[in-house]
Structure 1
Amino acid sequence: MVSGTDPDELSEVLSTPGSPIKVAALNNSPIRFHCNFLSAGAVRVADCAYEGTIALKREAPSEKMIIFLPKQGNLIFNYPRKPIESVPGRGTILEGDPTTGTLLFGPRRHLALFIDKAKITGHLSHMLDRTISGKIDIHPYFDMTSDAGLALVHLAEQLHRGLCKDGPLRQSPLALASFCDAATYLILENCQHRYSNELGRPAPAPAPRHVKWAIDFMHEHIAAPISLDDIAIAAKVSVRTLQQGFRQFRNTSPMTYLQEMRMTAAHHDLLSSDTKQTVADVAAKWGFSHLGRFAAEYKKRFGYLPSQTLKA
Structure 2
Amino acid sequence: MSNAQHSSSVAIANTLLNAPSRQLFASHDVEETRSMVGRVMKPHDLGVLGRSQRLDARMHHISLGDVALSRLRYGADVEIRPGPLEDFFLVQMPLVGHARIESGTEYVDSGPELASVISPTETTAMRWGADSDQLMVRIARPLLERTLAAQLGHPLVAPLRFQLGFRWRDCAAWRCLMAYLLECSTQDAELTHHKLIATQMEQMVIATLLSMHGHNYSDVQPARRSAILPKHVRRVQEYLQAHAHEPVSAEQLAQLAGVSLRSLYAGFKEFSGVSPMQYLRDLRLDRARADLLGAGDVGNVAGVALRWGFTHLGRFSADYKARFNESPSQSLRRA
Given candidates 204, 221, 224, the residue that maps to 1:204 is 224
Shift of 1:45: 1.0
Paired residue type of 1:116: A
In the TM superposition, what whole-angstrom CA distance separates every residue of 1:30-64 from its partner, at most 9, and x where no partner exists?
12111112222211111223311111111453310
8 Å Cα contact 2:76-2:131 kept in structure 1 = yes
CA contact (8 A) 1:74 1:87 kept: yes
1-side partners of 2:57 and 2:172: how far apart?
26
Of 165, 172, 181, the residue aligned with 1:159 is 181
CA contact (8 A) 1:76 1:102 kept: yes
The CA distance in 1 between the partners of 2:121 and 2:225, in whole Å, is 36
1:26 equivalent in alignment to 2:49: yes
Say if 2:169 and 2:175, in contact at 8 Å, map to a contact too: no
Q: In structure 1, what is the Cα distance between the partners aligned to 2:55 and 2:40? A: 24
One-letter amino acid of the structure 2 residue matched with residue 40 of structure 1: L
| Secondary structure of 1:15 counterpart | helix
Which of the two has greater strand per residue? 1
**SS across alignment from 2:106:** coil
1:71 Cα offset (Å): 0.9
**Selected match of 2:159 from 125, 135, 147:** 135
Distance 1:129 1:98, change over 3 A: closer
Letter in 2 for 1:50: Y
1:46 and 1:160 in contact (8 A); partners too: no
Structure 2: 5+ residue stretches without partners: 1-22, 237-258, 264-335
Equivalent residue number for residue 183 of structure 1: 205
Tell me, in whole angstroms, the C-alpha distance in 1 between the residues paired with 2:147 and 2:85: 21
Percent sequence identity is 15
Deviations 1:112-134 (A, max 9, x none): 11111111111111111112264
Count of matched residue positions in the alignment of Structure 1 and Structure 2 = 214
Separation of aligned partners in 2, 1:165 and 1:204: 43
User: Secondary structure at 1:83's aligned position in 2?
Assistant: strand
Asked if residue 93 in structure 1 is aligned to residue 117 in structure 2, the reply is: yes
SS of 2:220's equivalent in the other structure is helix
Distance 1:67 1:80, change over 3 A: closer
Partner SS state of residue 175, structure 2: helix
Q: Which 5+ residue runs of structure 1 have no aligned equivalent?
A: 217-244, 250-312
Q: Which runs of 4+ in 1 moved over 6 A?
A: none
Structure 1 residues 168 and 133: CA distance shift in structure 2, 3 A = farther
Q: Deviations over 1:156-213 (max 9, x none)?
A: 34324433494252253322211211111111111111111125x7x7343577xx8x
Change (3 A) 1:21 1:47: same
Q: Which moved more, 1:151-160 or 1:68-77?
A: 151-160
Query: Which residue identity does 1:120 align to in structure 2?
Result: L
Do 1:19 and 1:62's aligned partners in 2 also have CA atoms closer than 8 Å?
no
Are 1:68 and 2:92 matched, yes or no? yes
The question of whether the paired residues in 1 share the 8 Å contact of 2:114 and 2:165 is answered with: yes
Q: TM-score, normalised by structure 2?
A: 0.56
Query: What residue in structure 1 maps to residue 214 of structure 2?
Result: 192
Confirm or deny: 8 A CA contact 1:86 1:92 kept in the other structure.
yes
Show the counterpart of 2:250.
none
